[in-house]
Structure 1
Amino acid sequence: MNEPLVITTPCRQCGFIHNCYCATIPAINSDLMVTLLTHPNELSRSTNTGKIVKRLLPCTHIEPWERKAPPPEYMTSGKTPVLVFPSPSSIPLAEWQQQHPEPSHFIVLDATWQEAKKMLNRSQWLQTLPQVCIEAAEASQYQLRRNQQSGNLCTFEVVTQLVHEVESKNTAQDMRVFFGDYLQRYQAERCGHAR
């Protein structure tokens, strides 16, 4: 006896067929201004976590990286742009906030770590920005890509840590719980079954 063919369609919002996560997205109230400067290769990766940040945080902008030109919000936000990137010239975010109590416009490089380093090295305008580093509250949960180095965070985790340090530890915890659930759903979806 043949099994009936089951045709399922992906969710219009998240694209998942078996493990839609839309109903699990926490209601988050945040004024944190973040621009995800996205490498062209990242736009087509199913493992990209920047698109999830955009669904959770309303003040997030996703902009394609251009080597010679900053994104429009960078010029018009009225907030001091700050690059979130660990480098010898970056200072801890807490120190930055003590020196600059006004709200900042955080720029996060949405790419693999290798691509992010190239983005910074190839963009003179990025190199002129003040740079801050964050201190991860916990180890990365992200295991969707190979060759992850210890201590590195994915884009979603970087923004979650920004929320933790700048706005609300409780909101950041809600984001971490959601992300853990999302990762389980993603793995099940990739295997073609419900979790």
Structure 2
Amino acid sequence: MPHAVSRLRSARLARSSKPFLARGGFKRERCVDCRLVPSHCMCTLRPSLTTRAGVCLLMADIEPLKPSNTGWLVADVVADTFAFGWTRTETDRDLLALLRDPQWQPYVVFPGQYAAPERVVRTVEPTNSLRDEAQQKRPLFIVLDGTWSEARKMFRRSPYLDRLPVLSLEPDRTSQYKLRRSGRTDHLCTSEVAALCMKLAGERVAEQTLEAYLAVFTHHYLHAKSQQPIVWDGFAHQQLHEVSHLPSRNILLL
């Protein structure tokens, strides 16, 4: 069954009057599930995890169409991933219902210096804490998926987010994302942000799986672009294989 980002992509394509052409990307046939050329498909490597923490991707208009988008990877890995397109004038009713769902404690993931101090938090209660899970709300991390300018616009112009706490991350390393150019090393890609959120929630396997899966996707994407064969026994694939065997609530390697 297609995940949330895949469904959002299909809906966005249905509204398009002309095909989307990724800037700087390769113009060959792509797998509909992993967005790579068939010779470099990684669908058989896709892990799926059941976690108590969830991710809500609020995506800029064409972000679901970009082959290099890593929100897609988050939806591959974290079963409870939700995805909504963002516009300034309309708000998806399903998004508002999700934010009101009593099982979730939503957090807007954004740098704390852009929010009122009383809204800013830097920790969340781990989902594996000793507190009774039946009484503990599940963390829902709202990640603004787009360019930095798009993310700032979404943060400023989404009044339904104003009442929610802002989770300000403190990464301990620079971004490893290599598929788009950025002038700032302190900006993380969506998958890296989700991994940090899972770490804060105590979802260690999800954190490590997202990190390893991003490395594998990067390897496949760049080797497809340069028309080089996949190194199946390389470091990235070994890491993904190792984390897929860590104990978890539920992990399935498709």
User: Quick check: TM above 0.5?
Assistant: yes
2:71 to 50, 57, 61: 50
CA–CA distance in 1 between the matches of 2:29 and 2:179?
23
Alignment of 1:106-145 (within 5 A): 106-145=141-180
Asked if 1:179 corresponds to 2:214, the answer is yes
| Residue matched to 1:79 | 104
The answer to which of 81-90 and 47-56 deviates more is: 81-90
Unaligned runs of 5+ in 2: 1-27, 127-135, 231-254
Alignment of 1:164-175 (within 5 A): 164-175=199-210
* Residues 92, 132 of structure 1: 8 Å contact kept: yes
CA–CA distance in 2 between the matches of 1:126 and 1:27?
28
TM-score by length of 1: 0.83
TM-score by length of 2: 0.65
1:16 to 20, 36, 49: 36
Aligned-pair identity (%): 27
How far 1:190 moved relative to its partner?
2.1
* Residues 137, 161 of structure 1: 8 Å contact kept: no
Identify if the C-alpha distance between structure 1 residues 169 and 45 changes in structure 2 by more than 3 Å, giving closer, same or farther.
Answer: same
* Residues 56, 83 of structure 2: 8 Å contact kept: yes
Any runs of at least 4 consecutive aligned residues in structure 1 with deviations exceeding 4 A, and if so which? none
Provide the aligned length of Structure 1 versus Structure 2: 185
Which secondary structure state, in structure 2, belongs to the residue aligned with residue 128 of structure 1? Answer: coil
Identify if the C-alpha distance between structure 1 residues 10 and 45 changes in structure 2 by more than 3 Å, giving closer, same or farther.
Answer: closer
